[in-house]
């Protein structure tokens, strides 16, 4: 809450602003009255209303004639200019000048008294109904409330003694029209009949009133959020602000700053704190407002706002800053991911995910120090930003409290599945399945390979420490694995096992949503998917990956060339992706050799042997099965994969109708599965019921 000195300073500032507005209105009204007396000798009531307004604003019983009002305003304006010249360039680059922002604009564009008068008159049209009535009466029979160019030329000729009369071209070529502060309406009409207008919100800002802008939202940095930015990013802010201020003080045109990073890395918070360091307020701005409303940039400059724009750029997209040629436009911050380019005079900042030791401190702050082992595991295996850690910890603690359990990895995993799910669900589907080691039935070598992937994922940052110089220049914490095997051999289940061990969400990529018939859209979809996956450090599962990563052709046809381009893009993005990616295929030969070279590990999933099939029958049937003798009989005869065996048991359970599963039920399930594959049931299984004593 502000103290008394602060309240007094605010009150004095508002009072001073109102005095400036009163003096400005007195100046404009006095000029209109002087012109009225020459153009319209009769008074229909509007003249009297304006005269009373001048008397009230000036504090004079008789009002002010034009010569006195003009001399008074020129003296005030001159005093303001002198006060501004006493400030240093650095102060003027970072602080508000005294008086109205309107006067800062007048000095920035070197406006003459006549040019400022026209701008003030056109601006007051937006806020004063009395000015609307006067303009309509003065340019009758045209009753439009906004002044035409020919009327403004007549007013200037009457009020300002110039060596020559004012021409419509003088109006259309003045600096504020060129800068789009004043807009010419009805551009298809002859120039003398075109009307002038000023954006009402821009005019309000120039009068020193608290401003807003449609579709935009002001954002102020909070001190308690400072810990959400890495120390390296916090240290970058004052250095960046100093460079920007030097550019501004020297009058050099500078477009702004590009802040890159994955979602949740603090790009918005960085922008807010940069704005504070510049003496500005960040304002979240839609791209179409920034791009299609030129006056908005001017408004930001005089309202002391820093536009923060979040364009969604595809890999081949480029965004161009408008080349205004003036230093009086606002800087802007562009928040981007890894794709797209920004053309213009900009500085670029990349916000990285916090390092492991920083994440350890973040997790300790978020969940407390009661679970050091859990904190160590999370900081090593989950490459998450500070904001993500904060959100996940809050949700996980709520889950643990509702279940009246101590915080565990399972609570963290469930919270992570919900973080960023709305964005990821557009192109992928969550696989919410916990698979422990005892439920995974695979050959020993496959289990060892999966555990090696888990171990590498837990050490994927520290893996590069103290290695040779060649490896140090190519660090990448990403993990890429290819699972090869026929359908039903447990590839997807193995991916769920890895996700369970890491406490990470698993998302199966929806290829139908990713692939698009329009050129460039598939790349855009994949770029967004990988950005959000990296931001939330989820595991991506590309089932039947040969549809995306298949071998490239010769490129003779258009469709083949575009497919090759998509594969090339994927090869590059997957190689630089910082997360964990698992691809599955039925045949290793279908995957492009260039991609195979980029894979960290390839795991072959063979068809289960006798021991694996025996274990699968036990594990699937549980307590409802017919017993060990039948299991061994089935394991020795049925050459089914795990997924096919699962189908047999489910079909048998349907026939069992909630009771124990009999040999006859299993035989029905076996017949259905073999029939589905177009195969005959082995003859040794035909007598299953008889051989088993049923």
- pLDDT above 50 (res 411): yes
Separation CA 328–CA 330 (nearest Å): 7
CA Rg value for the chain: 36
- Residue with tokens 């161009």, as numbered in its chain: 320
Label the pairing between strands 479-485 and 580-585. Answer: parallel
Q: How far, in Å, are 61, 444, 625, 656, 692 from residue 628 at the CA level?
A: 113, 22, 9, 19, 11
Cis peptide before 623 (omega within 30 of 0): no
Per-residue pLDDT reduced to its tens digit, 664-691: 898 888 889 888 888 888 888 876 765 4
Per-residue pLDDT reduced to its tens digit, 325-346: 555 778 899 999 888 888 888 8
Cis peptide before 393 (omega within 30 of 0): no
- pLDDT above 80 (res 3): no
Separation CA 549–CA 584 (nearest Å): 11
Separation CA 677–CA 346 (nearest Å): 62
640 in Cβ contact with 676 (< 8 Å):
no
pLDDT at 519: 56
Mean pLDDT of 399-406: 91
- pLDDT above 70 (res 554): no
Higher pLDDT, 53 or 552: 53
Length of the chain: 694
Positive or negative torsion for Cα 518, 524, 529, 532:
negative
Per-residue pLDDT reduced to its tens digit, 69-106: 888 888 888 877 776 665 544 444 434 344 578 888 88
Mean pLDDT of 161-178: 80
Mean pLDDT of 181-202: 88
Separation CA 635–CA 612 (nearest Å): 8
- pLDDT above 60 (res 533): yes
320 in Cβ contact with 343 (< 8 Å):
yes
Q: How far, in Å, are 464, 479, 509, 540, 571 from residue 575 at the CA level?
A: 16, 9, 17, 14, 6
Separation CA 209–CA 585 (nearest Å): 64
Q: Torsion angle, CA of 432/435/440/442, rounded to 10 degrees?
A: 60
Mean pLDDT of 370-388: 88
- Residue with tokens 């102060």, as numbered in its chain: 91
Mean pLDDT of 252-267: 84
Higher pLDDT, 50 or 515: 50
- Count helices and strands in the chain by DSSP H and E runs: 34, 16
330 in Cβ contact with 309 (< 8 Å):
no
Other Cβ atoms closer than 10 A to 323: 12
Other Cβ atoms closer than 10 A to 141: 5
320 in Cβ contact with 290 (< 8 Å):
no
Separation CA 441–CA 425 (nearest Å): 30
* Partners of 348 in beta bridges: 258
28 in Cβ contact with 117 (< 8 Å):
yes
Per-residue pLDDT reduced to its tens digit, 207-235: 888 778 999 999 877 766 777 888 888 88
Higher pLDDT, 370 or 74: 74
Per-residue pLDDT reduced to its tens digit, 586-635: 877 777 676 777 788 999 999 888 988 889 898 888 888 888 888 888 88
Higher pLDDT, 472 or 428: 428
pLDDT at 92: 43
- pLDDT above 60 (res 27): yes
Label the pairing between strands 341-343 and 479-485. Answer: unpaired
Separation CA 599–CA 575 (nearest Å): 8
* Mean pLDDT (the chain, rounded): 82
567 in Cβ contact with 552 (< 8 Å):
yes
End-to-end CA distance of the chain: 85
Separation CA 359–CA 208 (nearest Å): 44
* Partners of 347 in beta bridges: 257
- pLDDT above 60 (res 130): yes
Token pair for 685: 């299984």
Which of 27-36, 157-166, 212-221, 612-621 is the least confident region?
Answer: 157-166
- pLDDT above 60 (res 173): yes
Mean pLDDT of 626-652: 88
Label the pairing between strands 479-485 and 332-336. Answer: unpaired
- Residue with tokens 């008789």, as numbered in its chain: 62
* Portion of the chain with pLDDT greater than 90, in percent: 23
- pLDDT above 50 (res 693): no
């Amino acid at each position: 809450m502000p103290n008394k000195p602060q309240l007094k300073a605010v009150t004095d500032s508002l009072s001073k602003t109102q005095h400036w507005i009163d003096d400005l209105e007195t100046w404009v009204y006095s000029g209109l009255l002087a012109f009225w007396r020459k153009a319209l000798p009769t008074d229909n009531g509007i003249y009297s209303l304006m005269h009373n307004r001048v008397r009230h604003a000036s504090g004079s019983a008789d009002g002010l004639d034009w010569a006195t009002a003009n001399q008074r305003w020129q003296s005030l304006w001159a005093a303001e200019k002198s006060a501004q010249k006493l400030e240093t360039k650095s102060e003027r680059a970072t602080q508000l000048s005294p008086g109205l922002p309107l006067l800062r604009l007048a000095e920035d564009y070197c406006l003459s008294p006549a040019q400022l008068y026209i701008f003030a008159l056109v601006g007051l049209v937006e806020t004063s109904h009395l000015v609307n009535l006067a303009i309509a009466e003065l340019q009758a029979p045209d009753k439009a409330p906004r002044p035409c160019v020919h009327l403004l030329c007549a007013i200037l000729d009457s009020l300002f003694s110039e060596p020559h009369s004012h021409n419509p071209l003088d109006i259309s070529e003045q600096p504020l029209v060129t800068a789009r502060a004043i807009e010419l309406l009805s551009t298809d009409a002859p120039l003398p009949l075109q009307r002038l207008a000023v954006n009402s919100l821009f005019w309000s800002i120039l009068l020193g009133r608290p401003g807003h802008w449609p579709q935009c939202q002001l954002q102020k940095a909070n001190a308690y959020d400072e810990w959400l930015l890495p120390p390296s990013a916090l240290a970058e802010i004052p250095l960046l602000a100093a460079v920007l201020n030097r550019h501004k003080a020297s009058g050099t045109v500078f477009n702004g700053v590009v802040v890159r990073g994955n979602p949740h890395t603090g790009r918005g918070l960085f922008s807010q704190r940069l704005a504070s360091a510049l003496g500005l307020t960040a304002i979240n701005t839609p791209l179409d407002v920034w791009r299609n409303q030129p006056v908005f940039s001017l408004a930001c400059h005089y309202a002391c706002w820093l536009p923060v724009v979040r364009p969604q750029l595809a890999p081949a997209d480029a965004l161009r800053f408008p080349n205004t040629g003036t230093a009086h436009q606002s800087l802007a911050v562009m928040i981007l991911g890894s794709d797209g380019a920004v053309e213009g005079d900009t500085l670029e900042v990349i916000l990285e995910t916090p390092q492991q030791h920083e994440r350890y401190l973040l997790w300790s702050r978020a969940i407390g120090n009661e679970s050091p082992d859990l904190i160590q595991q999370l900081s090593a295996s989950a490459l998450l930003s500070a904001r993500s850690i904060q959100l996940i910890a809050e949700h996980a603690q709520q889950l643990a409290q509702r279940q009246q359990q101590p915080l565990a990895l399972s609570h963290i995993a469930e919270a992570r599945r919900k973080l960023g799910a709305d964005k990821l669900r557009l192109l992928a589907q969550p696989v919410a399945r916990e698979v422990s080691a005892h439920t995974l039935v695979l050959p020993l070598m496959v289990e060892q390979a999966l555990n090696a992937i888990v171990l590498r994922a837990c050490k994927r940052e520290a893996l590069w420490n103290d290695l040779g110089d060649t490896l140090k220049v190519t660090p990448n914490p990403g993990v890429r694995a290819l699972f090869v095997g026929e359908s039903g051999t447990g590839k997807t289940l193995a991916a769920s096992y890895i996700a369970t061990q890491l406490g990470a969400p698993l998302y199966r990529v929806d290829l139908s949503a990713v692939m698009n018939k329009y050129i460039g859209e598939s790349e855009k979809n994949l770029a967004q998917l990988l950005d959000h996956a990296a931001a939330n450090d989820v595991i991506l599962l590309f089932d039947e990956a040969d549809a995306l990563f298949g071998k490239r052709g010769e490129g003779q046809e258009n469709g083949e060339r575009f497919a090759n381009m998509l594969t090339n893009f994927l090869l590059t993005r997957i190689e630089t992706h910082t997360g964990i990616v698992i691809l599955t295929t039925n045949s290793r030969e279908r995957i492009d050799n260039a991609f195979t070279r980029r894979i960290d590990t390839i795991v072959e999933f063979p068809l289960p042997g006798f021991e694996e099939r025996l274990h699968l029958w036990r594990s699937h049937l549980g307590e409802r099965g017919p017993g060990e003798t039948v299991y061994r009989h089935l394991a020795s005869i049925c050459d089914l994969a795990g997924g096919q065996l699962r189908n047999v048991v489910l079909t048998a359970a349907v026939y069992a109708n909630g009771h124990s599963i009999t040999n006859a039920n299993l035989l029905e399930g076996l017949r259905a599965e073999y029939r589905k594959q177009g195969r005959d049931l082995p003859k040794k299984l035909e007598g299953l019921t008889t051989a088993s004593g049923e």
